[in-house]
Structure 1
Amino acid sequence: MTSLSTAPSSSCSVSPILSIQSHVALGHVGNGAAVPALLAAGFAPWAIPTAVLAHHPGRGGFVGRITPAAEVAALVAGVAALPEFPSCVGVLSGYAGDPGTPEAMAGAVDALRRVRSGAPYLCDPVLGELGQGLYVHGDLPERMGRLLLPRATVVTPNPFELALLTGRAAPPATPEEALEAARDLRARGPEVVVVTGLRLGGGEIGVLLVDGQEPHLSRQDFVTGVESVKGTGDLLAAWLMAHLARTPVAGMERRIDPGHLDSLTERLGDLLRQAHRLGTPEIPFVGLSTCGC
C-alpha cells in the first residue's frame, strides 16, 4: 500500500488547473475528490465551489447552500484577473447547482483560451444517475448541452447523463447503444466522450472511450457492497484532466491513451475494494495513492 503524496514527482507538472464544482465538509465528491487527486498528480488546483455542503445529499438531507451563479462568475473573474492566470493549463467542471452556473463555467473556459489557446476543458456533466434520476435543476441539461458541450475537449457522462444530453428516452443498455449515443454527443462538440459506469454482462462494469479512432472499452469487475460510495466519477474526471494537461497532442494522436484509461479504472476498482474492506461510505483516500501520473 502506498501513501498519498502531494509533492510533485519529477515527471509531473506543477501548473494550476481550475476546478469548478461542489465543496463538501465531509467526504470526497466534487472538489473533495478533485483537489487531492490533482495535488497528488503534481498540479496546483484552483478550486471554485458551486455548492458548499456538509456532505453529499446521498448521505441524507441537503445541508448547506448552492453558490449563486453570479458569485461563481465573480470568483472566476477574480481568478482570471490575477497575473498567474495565464499559467493555468486547463479547466475542469462538475456539479453546477445554480442553473446559471454553466454560463460562468463557459466564461472560465473562454477566458483561459484567450490567454492560452487550445487549453483543454473537461466537462463532467453531473446531472443524475440510474436509480435516482435527475438530481439537479431541470434547466441544467439544456444549458450544459448548449454552453459546455461545444467548448469541451472531453466530456464524461454516465449512461443516464448520456441519454439526457442526446435526447434519448432511456439510457443505453449495451455497449453498442452507448457507442451510438457517444458518437451523437461528439457531434455536438467534444473531441472525446468517456462514458462511465456501463453495466456489462458477467458481473463487469465498463468505461467506454470514444474519439475519432477505434473505440475502447475498459472492463473491470463490479464491486458489490459499495453502492453508497460516491465520487468515483469525480475522481476519474480529475485523473483524466491531469492526463490531458500533461499530454501534448499533435496530428492524429489520441487525447486519452486507452492503456492509461485501463490503469485508471483498475485503480478505481482497487479503491472501491478497499472501501468495502473498511466498511466506509466514502472513497478511502488516506493511505492510498490517488496520483493519476
Structure 2
Amino acid sequence: MAPILSLALPSDTGRVLSIQSHTVQGYVGNKSAVFPLQLLGYDVDPINSVQFSNHTGYPSFKGQVLNGQQLWDLIEGLEANDLLYYTHLLTGYIGSVSFLDTILEAVRKLRSVNPNLIYG
C-alpha cells in the first residue's frame, strides 16, 4: 500500500530556535511556524515572546509579555547545558526595545557557537 502523504524533506535539516508570539486561540507566530517546520524535518525549539489569549486585533486580549531579561535567562539556561547549537534563528513579534536588544545579543551568542547560523 502506498503512503497517503509523501513529504520531500530538505537534504540538510537542522535545528531552529523560533522566538515568536503565541496565542491560545488562533494561529500566529510559533503556533503557526513550529509544526510545519517539524513536518519538514527540522528540530524546533520555540520561545514565546508573548502569550496572549487571542490575536491583538480583537477588541480585547489578555496575557503575558516576555521581557529582555527573561529571554536572556532562557538563552543562558540553554548555554549552561550546551544546547545553543542552532542552524537557524527565526523571530517574529517583538514587543519591546529591551527584547529587541536581547535578540541582537542572542544572535551574537548563537553565531559564536555556529558562524553559519541563518537568521530569517
TM-score (norm 2): 0.83
Matched-pair contact (CA < 8 Å) for 1:21–1:48: yes
- Residue 90 (1) aligns with residue 88 (2): yes
In the other structure, the counterpart of 1:117 is 115
Higher relative contact order (CA 8 A, sep 6+): 2
Matched-pair contact (CA < 8 Å) for 1:27–1:55: yes
Query: What's the offset of the Cα at 1:117?
Result: 0.9
In the other structure, the counterpart of 2:60 is 61
Change (3 A) 1:11 1:30: closer
Change (3 A) 1:12 1:41: farther
Q: Which amino acid aligns with 1:117?
A: P
Alpha-carbon separation, structure 2, partners of 1:10 and 1:22: 26
Following superposition of structure 1 onto structure 2, how do residues 230-249 of structure 1 map, counting pairs within 5 Å? Answer: none
Larger radius of gyration: 1
In the other structure, the counterpart of 1:42 is 41
In the other structure, the counterpart of 2:98 is 100
Alpha-carbon separation, structure 1, partners of 2:27 and 2:60: 17
In the alignment, structure 1 segments of 5+ residues that lack a partner are 123-293
Q: SS where residue 35 of structure 1 aligns?
A: helix
Q: SS where residue 110 of structure 2 aligns?
A: helix
Q: Which amino acid aligns with 1:80?
A: E
Alpha-carbon separation, structure 1, partners of 2:59 and 2:41: 34
Q: Which amino acid aligns with 1:70?
A: Q
In the other structure, the counterpart of 1:266 is none
Query: What's the offset of the Cα at 1:11?
Result: 3.6
Change (3 A) 1:28 1:13: farther
Matched-pair contact (CA < 8 Å) for 1:91–1:108: no
Alpha-carbon separation, structure 1, partners of 2:62 and 2:102: 24
Q: SS where residue 100 of structure 1 aligns?
A: helix
Q: SS where residue 114 of structure 1 aligns?
A: helix
Task: Give the fraction of aligned pairs with identical amino acids, expressed as a percent.
Answer: 28
Query: What's the offset of the Cα at 1:95?
Result: 0.6
Alpha-carbon separation, structure 2, partners of 1:36 and 1:60: 28
Alpha-carbon separation, structure 2, partners of 1:25 and 1:12: 33
Matched-pair contact (CA < 8 Å) for 1:76–1:104: no
Q: Which amino acid aligns with 2:108?
A: D
Q: SS where residue 58 of structure 1 aligns?
A: coil
In the alignment, structure 2 segments of 5+ residues that lack a partner are none
Q: Which amino acid aligns with 2:55?
A: H
Query: What's the offset of the Cα at 1:13?
Result: 4.1
Q: Which amino acid aligns with 2:81?
A: L
Q: SS where residue 97 of structure 2 aligns?
A: coil
Alpha-carbon separation, structure 2, partners of 1:73 and 1:85: 12
Query: What's the offset of the Cα at 1:59?
Result: 2.7
In the other structure, the counterpart of 2:25 is 26
Matched-pair contact (CA < 8 Å) for 2:9–2:40: no
Matched-pair contact (CA < 8 Å) for 1:49–1:67: yes
Q: Which amino acid aligns with 2:111?
A: R
Following superposition of structure 1 onto structure 2, how do residues 1-293 of structure 1 map, counting pairs within 5 Å? Answer: 10-86=9-85, 88-122=86-120
Matched-pair contact (CA < 8 Å) for 2:9–2:41: no
TM-score (norm 1): 0.37
